């Protein structure tokens, strides 16, 4: 298992790779993939029980990307872990590829085809319910968008998860507060989001979703309440890690120019180097 | 007159099979009563999941269960299951390739006077256009039993629609060979062919009897599986009889008639009459009354075939 510095370095490396991939494909959801990179890095390199050599291992923890459009970070992580060859990332969004702009279960490591918003949590409830009925101890992690919270099916699923006491289910909201048309609170107000989920019977935790340590500690504490599903509001920055993409609405699915790619790589490389130089010092 | 509804048969069949197959799970949307699944829920509580009145979640959860190795059978009113949750059917079942059986109960005009909100007359059109989804309608209780048994062993998404009330038998027993995707010829003839599905198969059978009295030998094809479609049987009917009437409890757009027309027009064009519910909110009434009103009756079918053959000379 990776330590904190390694995880931070890995997240920066994934960000470089996804930026390159989107630049190469001339397509992709840049901002959302950058905001969820830390969450996915901690899940895949620290928290989840899984085996890239045996993607369908029955005891594995399940990950469902309900906000399927932010798939670029996930493709980079799955390739890095060996679920499929890294060279295949070059085919992202190209003619005939498996690596399309949403999770595709023809690719090892992907459970279900997601991307139509509001589908991931119901599916996750089914998986968690099967786990309970079969007395398995796997967990199901479902990553949702904040704009996605306007979908009614999420709340149907939220109700059923607490009804069936699915404490093996973890919902994570990538709360970057931006959706394609603007600030989430202007497009369709969500707050108080924590109170809504609590009212639906979930144990709610609100954290800095770009902080590796917070994510590790939070995931380590699940379930917080026996018999209750856990909802993590991961407060993130859309475009995180690349200064000019941070909190910039235009970067929802903007493709970086050659200059922007070079600048992003420079910034992220500096972040990695600063982490390397900190090695040997006590963790903050 | 048979008194056993198809929904009752599905419950009995699944109860029988669930004893030795713990992967069978029945899901309901506050519909265990109308699906006649109460006894199943009582006998196998660990193999029953109540989802409340939430059809999108119903299908998503079933897909998640199927992904985990279960064999979920959803029993929910056809009108809601095939419309409210159609995106979950398209994506979570068909596209993701999960082994979910979607049993639309009280289908067609079963709900009679409850109005168009509760009718399901577009479900065949929408489900058969989805890649990877099979579509089936049993004709009577015997076929319902055979079909339900077959679905337990069939790996893949299926939409199966049944009506609410008992229907008269078209089979004498369940002692016959049933295969998904293989139409059944219930009456032999070479003058014309009736191709029907679901509860209209009985109408077709009665029409064959009427026509026989008038010296017209009519073939009756029970197209219990709309998809994958038995095109071979349709082409044979076109080539060997030269005139086809289709019967269905569905809009005249996009259903069985359309599927037959797509086949004959490209392989063996012959005169074809599509009988179903016209493009309007259906008239209120019991199934037989609604069928009669729109000409889905043995008498009308016999007349159409007689006149059609006379024109052909």
- What integer pLDDT is reported at residue A284 of this predicted model? 45
Phi-psi region of A67 (alpha: psi -120 to 50; beta: other; left: phi over 0): beta
What SS3 state is found at A267? helix
A281 or A232, higher pLDDT: A232
| A281 pLDDT higher than 70 | no
- What integer pLDDT is reported at residue B311 of this predicted model? 85
CA distance A126 to chain B (A): 4
Q: Provide the pLDDT confidence category of residue A105 given band limits of 50, 70 and 90.
A: very high
Report ipTM (2 d.p.). 0.96
Evaluate whether A91 touches A97 at the Cβ level (below 8 Å): yes
| Beta pairing class for B225-227 and B133-136 | antiparallel
Q: By the CB < 8 Å criterion, does A122 face chain B? A: yes
Closest CA to A137 of A72, A219, A223: A223
Question: Quick check: A116 and B56 CB within 8 A?
Answer: no
A125 contacts in B (CB within 8 Å)? 57, 60-61, 64
Q: Among all residues of chain B, which has the CA nearest to that of A58?
A: B68
Question: Quick check: B56 and A122 CB within 8 A?
Answer: yes
Q: By the CB < 8 Å criterion, does A129 face chain B? A: yes
Question: Quick check: B67 and A156 CB within 8 A?
Answer: no
Q: Among all residues of chain A, which has the CA nearest to that of B89?
A: A119
Tens-place pLDDT, residues A47-65: 999 999 999 999 999 999 9
Average pLDDT over residues A118-141: 98
CATH, domain range A4-278? 3.40.50.970
CA distance B256 to chain A (A): 30
Tens-place pLDDT, residues A59-84: 999 999 999 999 999 999 999 999 99
Q: How many residues does chain A have?
A: 284
| A282 pLDDT higher than 70 | no
| A280 pLDDT higher than 70 | no
Question: Quick check: B60 and A131 CB within 8 A?
Answer: no
Q: How many residues does chain B have?
A: 313
Helix (H) or strand (E) holding A100: none
Question: Quick check: A123 and B92 CB within 8 A?
Answer: yes
Question: Quick check: B63 and A159 CB within 8 A?
Answer: no
Tokens of B147: 């079909």
**Domain locations in chain A as residue ranges:** 4-278
Is the preceding peptide bond at A220 cis, omega within 30 degrees of 0?
no
Tokens of A90: 């070059």
Beta bridge partners of B187: B220
pLDDT values of chain B reduced to their tens digit, one per residue, 313 residues: 899 999 999 999 999 999 999 999 999 999 999 999 999 999 999 999 999 999 999 999 999 999 999 999 999 999 999 999 999 999 999 999 999 999 999 999 999 999 999 999 999 999 999 999 999 999 999 999 999 999 999 999 999 999 999 999 999 999 999 999 999 999 999 999 999 999 999 999 999 999 999 999 999 999 999 999 999 999 999 999 999 999 999 999 999 999 999 999 999 999 999 999 999 999 999 999 999 999 999 999 999 999 999 987 6
> What's the pTM?
0.96
- What integer pLDDT is reported at residue A279 of this predicted model? 63
Give dist(CA B274, CA A249) in Å, integer.
Answer: 53
Q: By the CB < 8 Å criterion, does A121 face chain B? A: yes
Give dist(CA A119, CA B89) in Å, integer.
Answer: 11
List the alpha helices (DSSP H) in B197-297: 200-213, 231-241, 256-267, 287-293
CA distance A278 to chain B (A): 44
Q: Where are the beta strands (DSSP E) in B93-203?
A: 101-105, 133-136, 157-161, 184-187, 192-196
- What integer pLDDT is reported at residue B264 of this predicted model? 98
């Amino acid at each position: 298992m990776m330590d904190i510095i390694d995880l931070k370095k890995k997240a920066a490396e994934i960000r470089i790779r996804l930026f390159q991939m989107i630049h190469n494909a001339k397509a992709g959801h840049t901002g959302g993939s950058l905001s969820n990179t830390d969450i996915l890095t901690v899940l895949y390199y620290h928290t989840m029980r899984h085996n890239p050599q045996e993607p369908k291992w029955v005891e594995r923890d399940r990950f469902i990307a309900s906000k399927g459009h932010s798939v670029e970070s996930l493709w980079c992580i799955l390739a890095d872990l060996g679920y499929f060859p890294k060279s295949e990332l070059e085919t992202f969004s190209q003619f005939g590829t498996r690596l399309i702009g949403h999770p595709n279960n023809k690719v090892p490591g992907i459970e279900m085809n997601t991307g139509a918003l509001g589908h991931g949590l119901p599916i996750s409830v089914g998986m968690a319910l099967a786990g309970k009925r079969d007395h398995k101890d796997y967990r199901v992690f479902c990553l949702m968008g904040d704009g996605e919270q306007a979908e009614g099916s999420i709340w149907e699923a939220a109700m059923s998860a607490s009804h069936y006491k699915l404490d093996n289910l973890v919902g994570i909201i990538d709360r970057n507060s931006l959706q394609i048309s603007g600030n989430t609170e202007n497009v369709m107000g969500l707050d108080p989001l924590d109170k809504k989920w609590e009212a639906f019977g979930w144990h709610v935790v609100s954290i800095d979703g770009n902080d590796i340590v917070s994510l590790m500690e939070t995931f380590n504490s699940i379930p917080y309440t026996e018999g209750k599903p856990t909802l993590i509001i991961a407060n993130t920055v859309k475009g995180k890690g690349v200064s000019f993409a941070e909190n910039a609405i235009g970067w929802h699915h903007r493709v970086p120019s050659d200059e922007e790619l070079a600048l992003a790589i420079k910034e992220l490389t500096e972040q990695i180097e600063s982490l390397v130089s900190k090695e040997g010092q006590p963790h903050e | 007159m048979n008194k056993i509804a198809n929904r009752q048969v599905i419950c009995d069949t699944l109860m029988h099979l669930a004893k030795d197959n713990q992967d069978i799970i029945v899901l309901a949307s506050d519909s265990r009563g109308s699906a006649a699944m109460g006894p199943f829920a009582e006998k196998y509580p660990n193999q029953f999941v109540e989802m409340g009145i939430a059809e999108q979640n119903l299908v998503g959860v079933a897909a998640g269960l199927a992904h985990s190795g279960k064999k979920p059978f959803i029993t929910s009113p056809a009108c809601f299951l095939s419309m409210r949750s159609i995106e979950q059917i398209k994506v979570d079942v068909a596209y993701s390739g999960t082994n979910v059986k979607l049993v639309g109960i009280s289908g067609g005009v079963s709900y009679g006077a409850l109005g168009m909100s509760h009718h399901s007359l577009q479900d065949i059109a929408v489900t058969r256009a989805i890649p990877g989804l099979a579509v089936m309608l049993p004709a009577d209780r015997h076929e319902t039993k055979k079909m339900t048994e077959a679905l337990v062993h069939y790996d893949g998404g299926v939409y199966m629609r049944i009506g609410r009330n008992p229907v008269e038998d078209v089979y004498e027993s369940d002692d016959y060979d049933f295969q998904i995707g293989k139409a059944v010829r219930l009456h032999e003839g070479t003058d014309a062919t009736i191709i029907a599905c679901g509860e209209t198969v009985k109408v077709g059978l009665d029409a064959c009897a009427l026509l026989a009295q008038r010296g017209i030998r009519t073939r009756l094809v029970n197209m219990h599986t709309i998809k994958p479609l038995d095109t071979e049987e349709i082409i044979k009917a076109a080539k060997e009889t030269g005139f086809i009437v289709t019967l269905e409890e569905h809009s005249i757009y996009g259903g069985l008639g359309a599927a037959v027309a797509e086949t004959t027009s490209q392989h063996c064009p012959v005169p074809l009459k599509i009988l179903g519910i016209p493009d309007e909110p259906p008239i209120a009434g019991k199934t037989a009354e609604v069928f009669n009103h729109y000409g889905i009756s043995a008498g009308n079918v016999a007349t159409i075939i007689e006149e059609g053959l006379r024109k052909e000379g």
